[in-house]
Chain A
Amino acid sequence: MLTCLKFVVLLLLLSSRSCDGLQFNDIDEEVELVAQSSRYGSLWPLPQKVQLSDVSFKLTTSSFRIVDAKESSAGPSCSLLQNAYRRYYDYIFENAKKSWQAKGKRTGPSELGELQVWITSADSECDGYPSVTSDESYELTVNQPFAVLKAPKVWGALHGLETFSQLVYKDEFGTKNINQTTISDFPRFAHRGILLDSSRHFLPIKVILANLETMAMNKFNVFHWHIVDDQSFPYLSRTFPQLSQKGAYHPYTHVYTPADVKMVIEFARLRGIRVVPEYDTPGHTQSWGKGQADLLTPCYAGSKPSGAFGPVNPILNTTYDFMTQFFKEISTVFPDAYIHLGGDEVDFTCWKSNPDIQKFMEQQGFGQDYSKLESFYIQKLLNIVSTTNKGYMIWQEVFDNGVKLKPDTVIHVWKGNAQQYKNEMANVTSSGYQTLLSTPWYLNRISYGQDWQGFYKADPQDFKGTEEQKKLVIGGEACLWGEYVDATNLTPRLWPRASAVAERLWSAKDVTDISDAFNRLSAHRCRMVERDIPAEPLFSSYCPHEYKGV
């Protein structure tokens, strides 16, 4: 491997003078990781229970169908499933759209003619939104004369369709095959998320949709939309249009209109993905101040305002009036039961400089403890959000600062090294709160080599605590913060690195074999590439169909 540093030397004359007195170079043959085929083919994330046989059936474009089982509680009116059938048919047959219309012909003896999708519970939830308590389980039986996918709800059926499509492979003649298989599957964790940051860089809708599509291929079910931050406010608010008018990078080309947001939410719903928006306050709000006067704290230099602004001003009633109206809008725009309220990295220097704040601190008896002021603000904010009947998630600092929280609050752990985050998980859960882990999965932090292995090895329940505490871990999120990421590099930077997190959050705890994971993940990344997702390579290798979107 050419991993060491070199020069290129231009030789006009090559003398052998330089070759005297050299030592032996006693290095063993290098062993390079070469993808082998796994016993489990290209399944990713690995289902909970898989039984594979060597018996294979053919699938043909002209006759294969995905249909509703007669007993299914979801019928042709369930557009979520009908859309999914079409999508997966296209994936299975590599966009052979024409043949979809072709007339069915009789299936041969070794052919699989149908996949029947059977929603078993009375309420399929077809027209609903997925939630943290959604049943995502499914059972898949591939056998003649037809395959059956059974799921209590449509959410499980979506995952089962993905799994079915992953079982299909091409033989050397290009024919599609699937082996006789029995799978029973369900997620280990209910919350399996990806955080994208559309404030540091604006992400065109197309990029967000492509990543929702890829999330579905990896059985992720939460899109944590870190939609606004210091740098820009691209969310077009109907109540406060000035926020994006003044706070976005550009008021027309770099904003998300209500229609855009609706499209993202529906696109996600059709793939069983929740959209949890994050409106981070009181810090990380520089861009809010541009369109909303008096919202941010004026910082002082000496006895005069410096012209700079700090976090949200927690001492004004107008602040809370604004928040009430704003979150009322957010709670109707985003159907998910949770809103992420941020609360991280509040810088106290500006608050400290402001004489009005100092006075307020005195009145309230906070002394010099500005975290009490932060708590004061958060407490009021939580009360406001509670009136909208939404649950909330917050970054760990809010918990660390001792803010009083509702018992169903989800604490999002993101700080520290391995030991520190494990302690934090233990503390949060011993206080009885539900928690989400992100610390080991900051995918924006890149380094040379196969860093997916580190993501793969982290386990959110790997901390000291009781069984009860472990149950409070509802999952984790891979975060791709946007300082160095935009539409140009987001997708290859996220995939397949986030896929490693996907398997950790979905598959059984004991699925930890790195070399088997490498083999399956290599094949899985080639499948994403074949589906036009520019997922980057794990190591030297090739895909039968290389990425064509250059």
Chain B
Amino acid sequence: LAPHRPPRDRPTPPLRGPGCRPRAPLRRCPRYIPPLRVWPMPQISASSPEQYPLNPEAFYFEYGRQSEAQPGCSVLDAAFKRYFSLIFPDYFPVTKNFELFHDILIFLDVPISLKYNLSVCAGQASLKAETVWGALRGLETFSQLVYQDDFGSFFVNKTDIEDFPRFQFRGILLDTSRHYLPVQAILKTLDAMAYSKFNVFHWHIVDDPSFPYQSQTFPDLSAKGAFHPMTHIYTQTDVQRVISYARLRGIRVLPEFDSPGHTQSWGKGQSDLLTPCYKGGTPSGAFGPVNPTLPSTYQFIARLFKEVSSVFPDSYIHLGGDEVNFFCWKSNPDVRAFMQKMGFGTDFTKLEAFYMESIVNITSTLNKTAIVWQDVFDYHELLHIWKGVPYDYTKELSRITKAGKRVVLAAPWYINHIAYGQDWRKSYTVQPLNFSGTEEQKKLVIGGEVCMWGEYVDATNLTPRLWPRASAAAERLWSDEKQTSSVEKAFPRLQDFRCKLLRRGIQAEPLYVGHCRHEYQGI
């Protein structure tokens, strides 16, 4: 079995990382040498048949002497603990005073670049990264390099890896409004996200069906708008727990408070927020999108977003802005009068733009960068979607980047849409930069996002529906596209990765017939 080699057009890096000791004599008897089975595929890697045993009794992580981060660094302290048990899943320390001899150790060294460099050689492995976030990815890679033979002994092969993500934004959207997801289900997803090197949790936290976010400023929103005011809400403590759990795994939490559409549940706890719809000359009792004509609306949004921007530390905030239905606005005489006053004529898209502009201004005063769905950029294409014409997202990418806007691509990764068979192959073969445009335009594509909308998903089926299907997109967003263009080559590696996920307690569904050494033990 040949060791994994990078493609020919790349220079082979020296098989000797900094700090490597002289090569130990090769063992006589041939042993099983696994191919490099890391998911997502690192950018540059070289491994050799030379293998080193790992002794759980003696293995430890250590901060490098010259490392900027030292014991006390919460992210890495926690990561060392976590990865120790991920690497040695069956291991429970039995002896209290075990010997500290240098079998394999990992340390962080002075920053050298944006990437992480991982070099495993006899006696020790070294991991260099500029930031702790890079170090977390390196730890994940290291943990995937370790394997067990048939007798249960742990091994790692001599390996050099130089790695960095292709895109800076690699997200997963979960929808906690259509179904409430218990905090435990979110935390589990964050764990699995870290295993696939995702770094953004896009929390579509509220929508029409329910408002589970418990606001300090407007407690009625969840008290009246959640499915249940006690059992189906996210308290401030829950939200903090999610944020800090994510941070320790190098994941940002991007909250979405979608308006002016998708806000039916908001109206239950905040009177006069939504537009009253009219039938003939009288209010019908139904409500439409947020009422953009009242100053009280903007006061409310300003106060809510002020809270949201202090609760969620991320510098981005998602404002939604998709699928606004003008039917109700049109029916309302006050809205129509406002339109006239503003000189919008009968163009309700102008009213929507007016609203979106106002709330984007609110968020910029809070020093947050606003993200919106593409509908806000252009309404023409949306009509096509409603009519069911297949949507050509590459054209959209050209158009939007031409206008100088930065883009996150989600269109090809709506994995709440399920189909019979191996649909991960479709997610995998997406080419996010394969659109006509200049180099400058391509740079505006900052990443992609896997969306798991919640109409048909709750805690009963979320995990197997998300994994390993989302992992296909993870590799597309992290790895070099040329090195990972073959679905057939990816298949055994992804199968192997899904068994790793099972071993780590993630209920990832099978790709096709076969088995894992350790099957899932729940129901």
Q: Which of B56-64, B104-112, B512-520 contacts A (4 or more CB under 8 A)?
A: B512-520
- Give which listed residue, A19, A29, A447, A492, contacts B327 with CB less than 8 A: A29
In contact, A202 and B519 (Cβ under 8 angstroms): yes
Q: Give residues of chain B (429-462) contacting chain A, Cβ–Cβ below 8 Å.
A: 446, 449, 453-461
In contact, A11 and B360 (Cβ under 8 angstroms): yes
- Give which listed residue, A7, A22, A537, contacts B411 with CB less than 8 A: A7
What residues of B have a CB within 8 angstroms of the CB of A548 in the complex? 182, 184, 459
A293 within 8 A of B: no
Q: A488-B509, A547-B458 are in contact. Are A9 and B376 (CB under 8 A)?
A: yes
Most buried by B among A9, A482, A538: A9
- Give which listed residue, B175, B353, B396, B397, contacts A19 with CB less than 8 A: B353
In contact, A444 and B420 (Cβ under 8 angstroms): yes
What residues of B have a CB within 8 angstroms of the CB of A449 in the complex? 456
- Please measure, in the bound complex, the distance between the C-alpha atom of A8 and the C-alpha atom of B326, giving whole angstroms: 21
Interface size on A, residues (CB 8 A): 76
Q: Give residues of chain B (381-431) contacting chain A, Cβ–Cβ below 8 Å.
A: 382-383, 385-386, 391, 393, 396-397, 400, 405-412, 414, 416-421
In contact, A4 and B386 (Cβ under 8 angstroms): yes
In contact, B383 and A540 (Cβ under 8 angstroms): no
A102 within 8 A of B: no
- Please measure, in the bound complex, the distance between the C-alpha atom of A360 and the C-alpha atom of B379, giving whole angstroms: 71
- Please measure, in the bound complex, the distance between the C-alpha atom of A231 and the C-alpha atom of B523, giving whole angstroms: 22
- Give which listed residue, A2, A24, A207, A249, contacts B348 with CB less than 8 A: A24
**Per-residue B-contact encoding for A4-31, CB less than 8 Å = 1, 0 else:** 1111111110101011011111111110
What residues of B have a CB within 8 angstroms of the CB of A540 in the complex? 178-179, 209, 454-455
Q: Give residues of chain A (422-457) contacting chain B, Cβ–Cβ below 8 Å.
A: 444-449
B21 within 8 A of A: no
In contact, B510 and A537 (Cβ under 8 angstroms): no
Output the least CB separation between B461 and chain A (Å): 4
A232 within 8 A of B: yes
Most buried by A among B202, B330, B418: B418
B170 within 8 A of A: no
- Please measure, in the bound complex, the distance between the C-alpha atom of A4 and the C-alpha atom of B388, giving whole angstroms: 9
Q: Which of B136-144, B224-232, B303-311 contacts A (4 or more CB under 8 A)?
A: B224-232
In contact, A7 and B521 (Cβ under 8 angstroms): no
Most buried by B among A7, A544, A548: A7
Output the least CB separation between B390 and chain A (Å): 9
B334 within 8 A of A: no
What residues of B have a CB within 8 angstroms of the CB of A485 in the complex? 509-510
CB nearest neighbor in A for B232 = A542
In contact, B374 and A6 (Cβ under 8 angstroms): yes
- Please measure, in the bound complex, the distance between the C-alpha atom of A11 and the C-alpha atom of B391, giving whole angstroms: 22
What residues of A have a CB within 8 angstroms of the CB of B374 in the complex? 6-9
What residues of B have a CB within 8 angstroms of the CB of A445 in the complex? 420
- Please measure, in the bound complex, the distance between the C-alpha atom of A536 and the C-alpha atom of B349, giving whole angstroms: 38
Most buried by A among B178, B409, B416: B178
What residues of B have a CB within 8 angstroms of the CB of A210 in the complex? 523
A535 within 8 A of B: yes
B371 within 8 A of A: yes
CB nearest neighbor in A for B521 = A204
Q: A4-B391, A24-B348, A484-B509 are in contact. Are A9 and B521 (CB under 8 A)?
A: no
- Give which listed residue, A5, A21, A537, contacts B458 with CB less than 8 A: A537
CB nearest neighbor in B for A204 = B519
What residues of A have a CB within 8 angstroms of the CB of B455 in the complex? 1, 3, 539-540
A98 within 8 A of B: no
In contact, B400 and A201 (Cβ under 8 angstroms): no
What residues of A have a CB within 8 angstroms of the CB of B397 in the complex? 7
A127 within 8 A of B: no
Q: Is the interface of A mostly helix, strand, loop or mixed?
A: loop
Q: Which of B116-124, B317-325, B471-479 contacts A (4 or more CB under 8 A)?
A: B317-325
- Give which listed residue, A11, A29, A483, A535, contacts B513 with CB less than 8 A: A483
In contact, A4 and B385 (Cβ under 8 angstroms): yes
- How many of chain B's residues touch chain A, expressed as a range? 35 or more
- Please measure, in the bound complex, the distance between the C-alpha atom of A486 and the C-alpha atom of B373, giving whole angstroms: 36
A168 within 8 A of B: no
What residues of A have a CB within 8 angstroms of the CB of B325 in the complex? 25, 27, 29-30
- Give which listed residue, B277, B288, B409, B519, contacts A487 with CB less than 8 A: B519
- Please measure, in the bound complex, the distance between the C-alpha atom of A447 and the C-alpha atom of B407, giving whole angstroms: 30
B328 within 8 A of A: yes
B314 within 8 A of A: no
In contact, A549 and B178 (Cβ under 8 angstroms): no
In contact, B379 and A488 (Cβ under 8 angstroms): no
CB nearest neighbor in A for B419 = A447
In contact, B461 and A14 (Cβ under 8 angstroms): no
- Please measure, in the bound complex, the distance between the C-alpha atom of A6 and the C-alpha atom of B224, giving whole angstroms: 30
- Give which listed residue, B326, B348, B409, B523, contacts A549 with CB less than 8 A: B523
CB nearest neighbor in B for A539 = B455
CB nearest neighbor in A for B318 = A8
B347 within 8 A of A: yes
A356 within 8 A of B: no
A250 within 8 A of B: yes
Q: A12-B369, A25-B348, A484-B509 are in contact. Are A6 and B228 (CB under 8 A)?
A: no
What residues of A have a CB within 8 angstroms of the CB of B523 in the complex? 206-207, 210-211, 487, 490-491, 533-534, 549
CB nearest neighbor in A for B385 = A4
- Please measure, in the bound complex, the distance between the C-alpha atom of A231 and the C-alpha atom of B372, giving whole angstroms: 48
In contact, A537 and B519 (Cβ under 8 angstroms): no
B24 within 8 A of A: no
A529 within 8 A of B: yes
- Give which listed residue, A202, A447, A529, A550, contacts B184 with CB less than 8 A: A550
A274 within 8 A of B: no
- Give which listed residue, A11, A200, A482, A537, contacts B456 with CB less than 8 A: A537
B47 within 8 A of A: no
Output the least CB separation between B257 and chain A (Å): 14
- Please measure, in the bound complex, the distance between the C-alpha atom of A1 and the C-alpha atom of B327, giving whole angstroms: 15
What residues of A have a CB within 8 angstroms of the CB of B217 in the complex? none
Output the least CB separation between A402 and chain B (Å): 32
B89 within 8 A of A: no
B68 within 8 A of A: no
- Please measure, in the bound complex, the distance between the C-alpha atom of A166 and the C-alpha atom of B147, giving whole angstroms: 50
Q: Give residues of chain A (27-65) contacting chain B, Cβ–Cβ below 8 Å.
A: 27-30, 32
In contact, B512 and A23 (Cβ under 8 angstroms): no
What residues of B have a CB within 8 angstroms of the CB of A29 in the complex? 277, 286, 288, 325, 327-328
What residues of A have a CB within 8 angstroms of the CB of B360 in the complex? 11, 14
Most buried by B among A25, A449, A535, A538: A25
In contact, B509 and A486 (Cβ under 8 angstroms): yes
- Please measure, in the bound complex, the distance between the C-alpha atom of A533 and the C-alpha atom of B455, giving whole angstroms: 19
- Please measure, in the bound complex, the distance between the C-alpha atom of A2 and the C-alpha atom of B521, giving whole angstroms: 34
In contact, A201 and B460 (Cβ under 8 angstroms): no
- Please measure, in the bound complex, the distance between the C-alpha atom of A422 and the C-alpha atom of B514, giving whole angstroms: 35
- Give which listed residue, B277, B400, B460, B515, contacts A536 with CB less than 8 A: B460
- Please measure, in the bound complex, the distance between the C-alpha atom of A493 and the C-alpha atom of B512, giving whole angstroms: 15
- Please measure, in the bound complex, the distance between the C-alpha atom of A492 and the C-alpha atom of B179, giving whole angstroms: 15
- List residues of chain B with CB under 8 Å of any chain A CB: 175, 178-180, 182, 184-185, 188, 202, 207-210, 227-228, 231-232, 262, 277, 286, 288, 316, 318, 322-328, 330, 346-350, 352-354, 356-357, 360, 369-380, 382-383, 385-386, 391, 393, 396-397, 400, 405-412, 414, 416-421, 446, 449, 453-461, 463-465, 502, 507-515, 517, 519-523
Top-5 shortest CB links A-B? A489-B464, A534-B460, A492-B461, A542-B227, A540-B178
- List residues of chain A with CB under 8 Å of any chain B CB: 1-12, 14, 16, 18-19, 21-30, 32, 200-202, 204, 206-207, 210-211, 231-232, 249-250, 253-254, 444-449, 482-493, 529, 533-542, 544, 546-550
Other CB < 8 Å A-B pairs besides A207-B523, A486-B510, 19 of them? A6-B374, A8-B410, A9-B406, A9-B407, A11-B360, A11-B371, A14-B356, A28-B327, A29-B286, A29-B288, A32-B208, A200-B513, A232-B515, A249-B515, A254-B515, A487-B522, A540-B454, A542-B232, A550-B182
10 A-B pairs with CB atoms under 8 Å apart are: A5-B412, A6-B410, A6-B411, A19-B379, A25-B348, A204-B519, A485-B510, A492-B464, A529-B460, A538-B456
